[in-house]
């Protein structure tokens, strides 16, 4: 998947990676457009029902999601797509890039519709240290690849590439975003911001697929290049994930200095540790925190039935993994 002519036109069949094609077919069924979610009631909620702490939490959420969705798009187009040559993988990445652009448009739509201070929300990713730190974490991974060579050339380059995939598909899309979804859906539990929460549902459905695709991709690459899986590399992958958990915990403490809608930073961070463990397991690294999910109500919101069916029907076995240390 890493070597081959990078400008060879697509010749799809016979498929070499049927899981990638299955993800593409599912992605097509998930199509949506931001304006399909009316925000009139959300505007009224904002004006009449939300207090300053709740507004602060929503602004922090928008101030993180909006720029990060565009970073994911950039990373796919500039760092990931040029390095993978399998046609079905490239078709999925092209579709995902469109979805990420659609997510940017969805958050732009919310920011321009709700009576928030747009300039302040747009600038949070630079002005707020907890958001800036998460952005710096992601940028570092993209910049490392922009200066890198071809992953077909050496083990070190392949490790660097896999590090980027873990940092984006597993950390950003599978941990940072899930923590944000949990916060957003706490509003719907109180019957608030239902339009925004519909958008979050659709983004979440897309992100579940991106995460699943990313895990399949990482495991497939590890299967094709087992020499990459040194004990040192698996330690670095694990510490990347643990570093991300710390960044997310700091961010959540800034989002929720006091509990909002019955949700505290401590509980949300318990959920972050719980999903970080799931991601570590999916990569074959073993759970680290071994914590229960403190947000039991979230399971029903996040485990969309159609996705569960999809994964049960088509998931590969995660028999390939990084050795535990």
Residues that bind Fe ion (CB under 5 A): 173, 207, 210
Per-residue binder mask for Mn ion (CB under 5 A), 6-45, x = binder: ----------------------------------------
Catalytic: 81? no
> If binding is defined by CB under 5 A, does position 267 make contact with Mn ion?
no
Contact call for residue 90 and Mn ion (CB under 5 A): no
Is residue 99 packed enough to be buried (19+ CB in 10 Å), middle (13-18) or exposed (0-12)?
Answer: buried
Nearer to Fe ion, 145 or 192 (CB): 145
Nearer Cβ to Mn ion (103/216): 103
The token pair that represents 194 in the structure block: 């239902």
Instruction: Pick the catalytic residue from 109, 168, 271, 274.
Output: 109
Matching residue, tokens 């498929």: 15
The nearer residue to Fe ion, 210 or 216, going by C-beta atoms, is: 210
**C-beta of 99: minimal distance to Fe ion in Å?**
6
The answer to whether 72 touches 66, Cβ cutoff 8 Å, is no
- Name the 3-class secondary structure at 105: helix
Candidates 3-11, 96-104, 237-245, 284-292: pick the segment binding Mn ion (CB under 5 A). 96-104
**Least Å distance between CB 245 and Fe ion?**
19
Contact yes or no for 162/146 (Cβ under 8 A): no
Closer to Fe ion by Cβ: residue 30 or 250: 30
In Å, how far from its chain's centre is CA 119? 25
Question: CA quadruple 200, 201, 205, 206: dihedral positive or negative?
Answer: negative
Number of residues that bind Mn ion (CB under 5 A): 3
6 by DSSP, 3-state: which?
Answer: coil
Candidates 3-11, 64-72, 249-257, 291-299 — which segment interacts with Mn ion by CB under 5 A?
Answer: 64-72
100 belongs to the binding site for Mn ion (CB under 5 A): yes
103 binds Mn ion (CB under 5 A): yes
The answer to whether the Cα torsion of 185, 98, 40, 57 is positive or negative is positive
| CA–CA dist 96, 273 (Å, integer) | 27
Q: DSSP code of 35?
A: G
List residues binding Mn ion (CB under 5 A): 69, 100, 103
Cite the active site residues. Answer: 109
């Amino acid at each position: 998947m890493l070597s081959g002519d990078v400008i060879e036109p697509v010749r799809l069949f016979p498929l070499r990676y049927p899981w990638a094609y299955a993800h593409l077919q599912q992605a097509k069924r998930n199509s949506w457009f931001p304006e399909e979610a009316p925000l009139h009631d959300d505007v009224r909620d904002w004006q009449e029902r939300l207090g300053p702490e709740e507004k602060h939490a929503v602004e922090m959420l928008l101030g993180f999601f909006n720029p990060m969705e565009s970073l994911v798009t950039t990373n796919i187009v500039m760092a990931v797509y040029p390095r993978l040559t399998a046609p079905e993988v490239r078709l999925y990445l092209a579709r995902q890039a469109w979805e990420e652009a659609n997510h940017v448009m969805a958050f732009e739509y919310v920011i321009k519709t709700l009576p928030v201070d747009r300039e302040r929300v747009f600038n949070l990713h630079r002005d707020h240290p907890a958001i800036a730190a998460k952005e710096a974490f992601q940028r570092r991974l993209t910049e490392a690849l922009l200066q890198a060579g071809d992953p077909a050339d050496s083990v070190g380059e392949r490790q660097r590439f896999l590090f980027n995939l873990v940092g984006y598909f597993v950390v950003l899309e599978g941990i940072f975003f899930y923590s944000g979804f949990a916060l957003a859906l706490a509003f719907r539990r109180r019957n608030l911001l239902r339009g925004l929460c519909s958008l979050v549902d659709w983004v979440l459905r897309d992100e579940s697929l991106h995460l699943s695709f990313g895990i399949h991709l990482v495991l497939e690459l590890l299967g094709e290049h087992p020499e990459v899986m040194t004990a040192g590399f698996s330690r670095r992958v694990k510490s990347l994930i643990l570093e991300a958990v710390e960044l997310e915990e700091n961010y959540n403490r800034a989002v929720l200095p006091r509990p909002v809608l019955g949700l505290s930073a401590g509980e949300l961070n318990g959920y972050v540790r719980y999903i970080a463990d799931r991601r570590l397991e999916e990569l074959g690294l073993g759970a680290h925190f071994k914590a229960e999910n403190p947000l039991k109500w979230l399971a029903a919101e996040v485990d969309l039935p159609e996705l569960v069916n999809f994964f049960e029907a088509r998931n590969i076995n995660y028999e390939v993994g990084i050795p535990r240390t």
